[in-house]
């Protein structure tokens, strides 16, 4: 079983729509959680950290469910510029990060 699993998508949504997707992680001892964004042929960049209580950054909301071992990302009022691959990232009790293979989101006009 992969350490971090994501639905690869693609999620094709119109501008202004809400899109949400999850990722599951296998290690119940995982400590820190992140969503990274990766544009085509570019490096991953941190979108947001995910805190136990859930957190919001503008149109982006991240949630953590430790009991079921998944994290989620919700994008409200989608923009064309939100088209990207979103990587779910998990840290165990060290400095290494484990990456999901990514969920592709395409926002169409």
Residues that bind other proteins in the complex, under the rule CB under 8 A: 4, 8, 31-32, 34, 36, 41-46, 49, 87, 89, 91, 95-97, 99-102
CB of 72 to other proteins, least distance (A): 18
CA 20 to mean position of chain CA atoms: 9
For residues 71 and 78, which CB has a smaller minimum distance to other proteins in the complex?
71
Strand 45-50 with 32-38, pairing = antiparallel
Cα–Cα dist 84/82, whole Å = 6
Rounded to whole angstroms, the Cα distance separating 94 from 72 reads 23
């Amino acid at each position: 079983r992969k350490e971090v699993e994501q639905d690869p998508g693609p999620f094709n949504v119109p501008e202004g729509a809400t899109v949400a997707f999850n990722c599951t992680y296998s290690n119940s001892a995982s400590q820190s959680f992140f969503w990274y964004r990766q544009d085509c042929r570019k490096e991953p960049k941190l979108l947001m950290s995910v805190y136990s209580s859930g957190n919001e950054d503008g149109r982006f909301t991240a949630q953590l469910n430790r009991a079921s071992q998944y994290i989620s990302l919700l994008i409200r009022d989608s923009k064309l510029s939100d088209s990207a691959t979103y990587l779910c990232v998990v840290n165990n009790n060290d400095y290494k990060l484990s990456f999901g293979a990514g969920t592709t989101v395409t926002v169409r006009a």
